[in-house]
Chain A
């Protein structure tokens, strides 16, 4: 059943499983996410659920958004996100909590990856670099090599992979296992790493 929640990355630690093995895991503070809007095919042309996350002071919300929240009768939140085609039944005003998951579930986690600045082709696109250090090319070991032919086509093709800004993109990782749930603290423990630095907004979707 497709269900989803918003969360915030806290950091990483490790836990012992029942076999005594140490499992690396990411701690995520997820929910409670109030349902602000339910989109239906009749009214909006598609199925979706709009949820909020992270309570904020009323001074942090502008007037149009205040009206939007008040119509649903929920607390003001910092983030609003839509999830399309959720199969779990939700109504406006209801809170989505971590209890929609159980230990052992596989989820997809999306977030904004850490920005890495201007990077060369080796780090950015996993190029191998120009091979040799002799035969007159001792000064271009991390270079991209040729970027195309000469008189034909007389230009560089669009989308050719080169050096540039890396990171800071939306990144998703599928099949992350849930190794722990703490409903009283709204915490999820996910096996392994997830995109982004601490405090990144994460979308956690169970497929």
Chain B
């Protein structure tokens, strides 16, 4: 098990180094956040040769896993359609994460938001 931990830590380091090298001065450390927070994730999108940044803004509804396998799920409502994306926290494809608003919730998993309208979610989280 020690060997597995070693490899996972090595890969976390590698991912951080990749981001440092890629972004140079723009590099920011990932902030801490939890379920209920509204965050913005800047994701690298590779289209053929070119690379650009795409923003994904929404509410964190769950975080799971540990070490390298840690992921979080963000939900947003886009043109009336609910959209969810799962990101590995240590993915080299994440350029930066910024916390826009911290939520006031008592649960670790906010799956109950899935059945709610935008207005209701706003009331629930404030």
Question: Are A and B associated in one complex?
Answer: yes
Interface residues of A (CB under 8 A from B): 10-16, 19-20, 22, 27, 29, 185, 187, 189
Q: Are A189 and B92 in contact (CB under 8 A)?
A: no
Complex alpha-carbon distance, A97 and B79, angstroms: 57
Known: A22-B91, A187-B7. 6 other contacts (CB 8 A): A11-B1, A16-B90, A16-B92, A19-B46, A20-B93, A189-B7
A20 to B94, CA, bound (A): 9
Q: Would you call A11 and B11 a contact (CB within 8 A)?
A: no
Pairwise interchain contact A27-B4, C-beta atoms closer than 8 A = yes
Q: Which of B1, B7, B46, B88 contacts A22 (CB 8 A)?
A: B88
B residues in contact with A29, CB < 8 Å:
3
Chain B interface mostly: helix
What B residues does A27 contact at CB under 8 A?
3-4, 7
A113–B108 alpha-carbon span in the complex (Å) = 38
Q: Which residues of A contact B93 (CB under 8 A)?
A: 20
Once the chains bind, are B92 and A13 in contact (CB under 8 Å)?
no
Is B91 in contact with A11, judged by CB distance below 8 angstroms? no
- Chosen A-B contacts, 30 in total, with CB atoms closer than 8 Å, are A10-B3, A10-B4, A11-B1, A11-B4, A12-B4, A13-B4, A13-B7, A13-B68, A13-B69, A14-B68, A15-B11, A15-B68, A16-B14, A16-B15, A16-B90, A16-B91, A16-B92, A19-B46, A20-B44, A20-B92, A20-B93, A22-B88, A22-B91, A27-B3, A27-B4, A27-B7, A29-B3, A185-B3, A187-B3, A189-B7
